[in-house]
Amino acid sequence: MDLWTTSWLLASAAFAAGVLNAIAGGGSFLTFPALVFTGVPPIVANATSALAVSPGYLGSTLGFRPELRELPPARLKREMAISAVGGVAGALLLLVTPAKLFSGIVPWLLLFATLLFAAGPAMARRAAVASREGQGLAKWREPALLVVAVYGGYFNGGLGILLMALYTVTGESRLNVVNALKNLNSLVLSWLSVAAFVLAGAIAWREGLLMMLAATAGGFFGARWSRRLPAPWVRAGVIVTGLVMSALFFSRH
């Protein structure tokens, strides 16, 4: 595959991922496979994919500043610290995973993330019901956050759904606050995991910088198009994409 074709494929995948993340999520179903299919080793592809989609978390977090200001600063600092530790731990776990082993579990990770994305609305409804009893589960919020953050640092797919389910089940009934906490902790853990990947030399910089720019542009246009594109159609497209990518990786393996 020549340089022009590779660059076009990566930029297109990243732009589409930015659009998806702005509307429904699931952009990593495009960025990670695109990198692997253009010859980037799976572990480096996973790290570079995390770099490519990371700018979007900042804009999402800034959009929920009023909700974050309403929360106790001590709680925010504590949960950000937990997310930071988990994100770095997940990144380090990825870096010490043998390349052959990671290549073997990639199809399962993609399939898990796809099924998680597909189950997102049902999980949200059940979590809303469970939130009535969530005060009793609140003591598990921080240990569970650490586990989710480790997963997010290791493999980003489905992270937002897990965080939203976690906060709702453990007693947070305000949807905007749930979204605010999800975006803040995603920002912290993803940026620190990316920092770990950078220090370890696990980033394909040429591909990563190109995809960062394209994903940012996609997020900008996706925010505008979100008013026109029916969310159920977009979700269906993400699910189909995830299943197809999972099948392709299973066949390659």
Residue 184 has pLDDT above 80, yes or no: yes
Mean pLDDT, all residues of the chain: 85
Q: What φ, ψ does residue 158 adopt, rounded to 5°?
A: 80, 5
Mean pLDDT is lowest, of 8-17, 36-45, 118-127, 211-220, for 118-127
So what's the pLDDT on residue 131?
59
pTM for the full predicted model: 0.84
49-66 mean pLDDT: 83
